[in-house]
Amino acid sequence: MAIRRSGGSDLDTRDEYDTALLFGLRTTPGPAMAIAAIGPTIVTNDPAGGPRSSAVGVGVAAELSLNLKYIGLGVSGFGALGSGHRFAGVGVTAELGVIR
């Protein structure tokens, strides 16, 4: 279970973002790890110069990473879909610390 805040922007006119409560699965610890989660979210559209609107929707997240003892690299995908509101994104992650 995780609380996630994510978003996307078209860089000039509007932003879409969400706050989600996600439930998911993670592969067993090892050098490679995969995570997938889904759950309820509130998706918000915040247009430049216009009124903000929100809708209840579904949020998703997935991540694949390769971890050594103290450093890891990965790629993650995330998004949300609500009534009239939606966004998706991809990110590259760098992880530091004791990774188990």
Question: Could you tell me the residue ranges of all domains in the chain?
Answer: 2-96
> In this predicted structure, what is the pLDDT of residue 35?
92
pLDDT digits (tens, 9 = 90+) for 8-46: 777 767 788 889 999 999 887 778 889 999 999 999 888
Give the DSSP H or E segment for 31.
Answer: none
pLDDT tens profile 51-75: 888 999 999 999 999 988 889 899 9
Predicted TM-score (pTM) of this structure: 0.78
Sheet with 53-67, edge to edge strand ranges: 2-9, 14-26, 32-47, 53-67, 71-82, 85-96
Residue 74's SS3 state is: strand
